[in-house]
Amino acid sequence: MPRARTRTQDQWQTAAEQENSGCLSFYILPPLGVLLIACLLTVFALNIPTQTLASSPTTGTPSSGISPIFTREIQHWGSDITRWANASSLDPNLVAVIMQIESCGDPRALSSAGAIGLFQVMPFHFHLGENPYNPETNALRGLSYLSRSLNAANGNVRLALAGYNGGIGVITRSEWTWSAETKRYISYGVPIYEDARNGVASSPMLDEWYQKYGANLCQQANKRLGLNP
């Protein structure tokens, strides 16, 4: 959960912008047929769609869904997770990891430390008058903090997860100073995220997390969401 109180896309230039002279640069080449062919090739090139670069794990290009490894409760929020992630330029699977560990999809989750809702956001992150249990508001504040954590970690997901759990300040501290909870958080979060990214059908680490820490949390979420038959 976020505890502290507290990328850019490359702008592509077209070939016409790169070559200000355009076809005029070929007028010195005889014969006229060469000139015409060169100009036609240039026009053709300008109309070829630019191929999208493969995204890094943290750029969060638009996604049609999340990995199937996540529990039924997280799948319930799949379209919302994707929408929230894309709006925040985050990877939907990373957002799903956060929700999985934090609340297992229970919008009314409340920790003993006072963290609230789907993304277990601390009260001081909300603005006056906001309902912290509202999924849209909770996602807005939680993912804003995750984005800040990723920026502070220069895109390093492991450090960003540590920052989300222990506060952004831990990112620049030696790991031996991290709390046991933060170390445990990344020990599950990172491999679960890697499994989600790699397209596997199941995640042994997520299964282990569920057995050790998540069963009661997910059962509560399942009941809250009305997913039981």
Residues 6+ apart with CB under 8 A from 103: 109, 117, 118, 119, 120, 217, 221
The DSSP-derived string for 103-134 is: TTT-TT-B-TT--BTTTTB-GGGSPTT--TTS
Please report, rounded to a whole number, the percentage of residues in the chain having pLDDT higher than 70: 72
Q: Residue 229: pLDDT band by 50, 70, 90 thresholds?
A: low
Q: What are phi and psi of 110, to 5 degrees?
A: -145, 120
In 3D space, the residue among 89, 86, 145 whose CA is nearest the CA of residue 119 turns out to be 145
As given in the structure block, the two tokens for residue 21 are 């002279």
The mean per-residue pLDDT over the stretch 22-28 comes to 32
Picking from 51, 165, 48, 150, the residue whose alpha carbon sits closest to that of residue 101 is 165
Q: Which residue has the tokens 């909770």?
A: 138
Rounded distance between C-alpha atoms, residue 107 and residue 111, angstroms? 12
Query: In angstroms, rounded to a whole number, what is the distance separating the alpha carbons of residues 49 and 174?
Result: 46
Q: What is the pTM (predicted TM-score) of this model?
A: 0.73
What whole-number distance in Å separates Cα of residue 17 and Cα of residue 59?
27
**pLDDT (tens digit per residue) in 27-74:** 323 443 433 334 343 333 333 232 222 223 333 333 458 999 999 999
Q: Does the structure show a pLDDT above 60 at 140?
A: yes
CB 97 within 8 A of CB 186: no
How far apart are the two ends of the chain, measured CA to CA in Å? Answer: 31
More confident of the two residues 229 and 42:
229
**Catalytic residue numbers, as ranges:** 102
